[in-house]
Structure 1
Amino acid sequence: MRTLPDKIDPDHWMRSVFSSRDACRGGVIKRQTRDIERIVGRDAFLREVERRGWQALENGRHFIICCNAQPIRRIRSGGSPARAGD
């Protein structure tokens, strides 16, 4: 498992995340919640997502960022049982 250095520049990290190939193409990126909270802070990260007009989802230990303004629709395969929290 890869570990993060003790000190990462928050601005550099955020620029790097939001200039990734997938982000620039309007795709989806995923980052661990603990990394976001440790490096830039949840509020700052979500403000930047919102400023860009994007959407973020949180699931378990991850943020999933949709790097576009398209609607998000939750789908489930037919016949699968509902899970806790649905």
Structure 2
Amino acid sequence: MQGEVIRRKARDVERFAGMDRFMQEIERRGYRVTENSGQLVIFCNRAPVRWLTPPPDPLS
């Protein structure tokens, strides 16, 4: 699998593999992963991730 984007529930990853083991595999492969509202988005490549929207104002 190269260049795909996968979404998984964080609780499923924790239940089936464990977050530590999952993160070790992400690092071993050089992939990127982000988390939002209990969902993990895995970028199955080594390209940098660039956000197209600015982060929210921390005072909001």
Structure-1-length-normalised TM-score? 0.60
Q: 1:83 to 1:28 in 2, by over 3 A?
A: farther
> Whose radius of gyration is greater, 1 or 2?
1
Structure 2 gaps of 5+ residues are none
- The count of residues paired between Structure 1 and Structure 2 equals 57
Structure number with higher relative contact order (C-alpha < 8 Å, ≥ 6 residues apart): 2
Q: Which has the higher strand share?
A: 2
TM-score (norm. length: structure 2): 0.83
Q: Percent identity?
A: 41
| More helix by percentage | 1
Question: Which one-letter code corresponds to 2:53 in the other structure?
Answer: R
**Structure 1: tracts of 5 or more residues without a match:** 1-23
RMSD (Å), alpha carbons: 1.7
Whether 1:62 aligns to 2:44 is no
